[in-house]
Amino acid sequence: MLPVFKETVERLFQQGLIKVVFATETLSLGINMPAKTVVIEDLWKFSGERHELLTPGEYTQLTGRAGRRGIDEIGYAVVLYQRQVPFERVAGLASTRTYELRSSFRPSYNMTVNLIRNYTREEARHLLNSSFAQFLADRGVVTLERQLERDRAFLDGYRKSMACHLGDFAEYWALRERAQRIREEARRITVREREEAAREGLAQLRPGDVIFLRSGRRRGLAVVLSSREGRPTVLTQDRRYFRLSHRDFDRAPAPVARIDVPRTGSARSARFRRDLAARLATLNVRPPRAHDARPDPEAERRARALEREAARHPCHACPDRPEHERWAERASKLEREVATLERRVRSRTETLGRQFDRVVAVLHELGYVRGFSLTEKGERLRRIYAEGDILVVEGLAQGLFDALPPSELAALVSAVVYESRERTPRRTELPTRELKERFRGMTRTWSEVRRTEDSHQVELVRELDPGFAPTVLDWAEGKSLDDVLGASGLTPGDFVRNCKQLLDLLRQIEEVGGPDVGPAARAAHEAVNRGVVSYTGLEG
């Protein structure tokens, strides 16, 4: 709902001129409209990352509006029936009166550089470890310690039960397990190598390449229609089209032929698919030979040597060996569980301090921190307050925002702040060649940051989402609200909300962008901040 409509409805409802208001949970949390009855149609909500059930606290916030102070003695809450939500679950939401406080606090890039600027490393870690989030994490350690104590007692019993009168059964079992681990690790390495080869092969495919698919119902020839982000879209002989991933191959895909793919036309067109599938059917191509999975010979040699050593062990000849093995398997499983619990206990203590250290390591590798001081890039990052803060500064450093018209700059920046609410986000076609090229550059930047994060066990940047870019481009170029909303499928309220988030980031980019980007960011801000987007409130 547009802000002006929301305020109007709120005032009319308060004056009794409107009797019923149908609202999303976001709207109902953001207005002052106590009512006699609150009706909840859907107990699911979008959390910003996924669709999930309301918590008892959220349910109470919504239904707490039922009952007008000084008018109603009782307020009523009605929940519409939903087949996928059991009645007991709804009753639990309604009857819960105490709500566990949870903290989503964690060190972000912007927070980290501001801590570095104002504190020593020890002071920053102490500040984080004194937070409410760390208090909650430490409190959970008590429960884990109790579970560890129980599991260790069980483990002692298992070890006694697997004792063998002929020798040390734990020693014998360790030989068997080492042989198994060697084979499993060799298999994992082989799988990783094949996946990497498949990724490289996919990245080299170009439109018109014909490849052979081996997996399940997709088996047969397919032609590459487009190649984007290392995941080509292909069309098969039975006229189906989809995007490939490295999981579709057990080795690097290679073209077996080539055909011309028309530059005009779309895979959504039945005629386009029929014509290409017919051309595939005329190809006389032999499928490449299947890849035989062979074990690593060195790993197999080491595993067999251990198995021979185990066969010579005195416990191997024990008549009760099957019984000992059962207890040994239980002990091995419980040992792994105990090790996991011990890691969880270690990770719960000073969690935020260690997270801070990992974020600092990422910033150091990317050139934002030297020692425990900020570089020029770090000073820039300190002034960007957005979820994609580091992507913005990387984009500025690499010139990805330079020399863009204001409307295209707004569209490109929107990919940092926008997040689709659809369960399966629709594919977005960026409208200009320059915008496509700059977005590819931003995607490469995102990939580089994610690789660095992975190496330090950090996950702060989410994937870029260009879904709002065509919409904001049209709006910044002066198109009407009706035209923009008609092409985008967004509600007016979502459109304004996304524009407000974009305006906030454009204002920050104007401040840190310097002479190359600052003026364009200011112009982009002015182009977006018009009409319903610039509305500030009703008068009187």
Q: 201: Cβ–Cβ under 8 A, 6 or more apart, which residues? A: 249, 251, 252, 253, 254
- Main-chain dihedrals φ then ψ at residue 405, nearest 5 degrees: -60, 150
Cα 226 to Cα 146: distance, rounded to the nearest angstrom: 56
Rg (CA), the chain: 30
Instruction: Write down the pLDDT at residue 403.
Output: 93
Residue 492 has pLDDT above 70, yes or no: yes
The lowest-confidence range among 10-19, 223-232, 343-352 is: 343-352
- pLDDT, one tens digit per residue, over 127-142 is 877 776 666 666 666 6
Taking the CA atoms of 460, 462, 464 and 467 in sequence, report the sign of the dihedral they define: negative
Question: Measuring CA to CA, which residue among 307, 204, 221, 220 is closest to residue 257?
Answer: 221
Residue found by looking up tokens 């019993």 in the block? 157
Q: 297: Cβ–Cβ under 8 A, 6 or more apart, which residues? A: none
CB 235 within 8 A of CB 223: yes
Count the neighbouring beta carbons within 10 Å of the beta carbon of residue 150: 9
Residue found by looking up tokens 């060195």 in the block? 298
Q: What is the amino acid identity at position 43?
A: L
Q: What is the amino acid identity at position 248?
A: D
Specify the higher pLDDT residue, 535 or 463: 463
- pLDDT, one tens digit per residue, over 236-247 is 888 888 888 877
Q: 28: Cβ–Cβ under 8 A, 6 or more apart, which residues? A: 38, 62, 65
Instruction: Write down the pLDDT at residue 178.
Output: 94
Count the neighbouring beta carbons within 10 Å of the beta carbon of residue 310: 19
- For residue 164, what is the DSSP state? B
Residue found by looking up tokens 């260009």 in the block? 466
Helix (H) or strand (E) holding 78: strand 76-79
Count the neighbouring beta carbons within 10 Å of the beta carbon of residue 301: 11
Instruction: Write down the pLDDT at residue 146.
Output: 81
Instruction: Write down the pLDDT at residue 471.
Output: 94
Query: What does the mean pLDDT of the chain come to?
Result: 85
Residue 538 has pLDDT above 70, yes or no: no
What is the pLDDT confidence band of residue 102, given thresholds at 50, 70 and 90? low
Ramachandran class of 151: left when φ > 0, alpha when ψ lies in -120 to 50, beta otherwise: alpha
Instruction: Write down the pLDDT at residue 165.
Output: 93
* CATH class held by domain 3-95: alpha beta
Question: Measuring CA to CA, which residue among 534, 519, 521, 407 is closest to residue 471?
Answer: 407
Q: Provide the total of helices (H) and of strands (E) in the chain, helices listed first.
A: 20, 11
- Per residue, the 3-state secondary structure of 216-280, as one string, reads HHHCEEEEEEECCCCCCEEEECCCCEEECCHHHCCCCCCCCEECCCCCCCCCCCHHHHHHHHHHH
Instruction: Write down the pLDDT at residue 53.
Output: 78
- Main-chain dihedrals φ then ψ at residue 370, nearest 5 degrees: -130, 120
Residue found by looking up tokens 């060697």 in the block? 182
Cα 225 to Cα 207: distance, rounded to the nearest angstrom: 5
CB 333 within 8 A of CB 173: no
The three-point CA angle 536-537-538 to 5° equals: 150
What is the pLDDT confidence band of residue 507, given thresholds at 50, 70 and 90? very high
Kindly list the domain boundaries of the chain, sorted by start residue: 3-95, 165-319, 383-534
Give SS3 for 52: strand
- For the chain, the distance separating the N- and C-terminal CA atoms, rounded to the nearest angstrom, is 21
Give SS3 for 242: strand
Bridge partners, residue 233, by sequence = 226, 243
- pLDDT, one tens digit per residue, over 333-353 is 999 999 998 887 776 666 777
CB 377 within 8 A of CB 393: yes
| CATH 1.10.3380.30 for the 383-534 domain, yes or no | yes
Give pTM, 2 decimals: 0.56
The lowest-confidence range among 43-57, 70-84, 440-454 is: 43-57
Bridge partners, residue 41, by sequence = none
- pLDDT, one tens digit per residue, over 16-40 is 787 777 666 555 555 667 777 888 8
What mean pLDDT comes out for the span 110-129?
A: 88
Cα 380 to Cα 372: distance, rounded to the nearest angstrom: 16
Percent of the chain surpassing pLDDT 90: 42
Tokens for 161, please give them.
Answer: 């039960």
The lowest-confidence range among 177-191, 315-329, 497-511 is: 177-191
Tokens for 476, please give them.
Answer: 């910044």
CB 445 within 8 A of CB 391: yes
Q: 531: Cβ–Cβ under 8 A, 6 or more apart, which residues? A: 481
Tokens for 93, please give them.
Answer: 């939401």
Cα 78 to Cα 324: distance, rounded to the nearest angstrom: 60
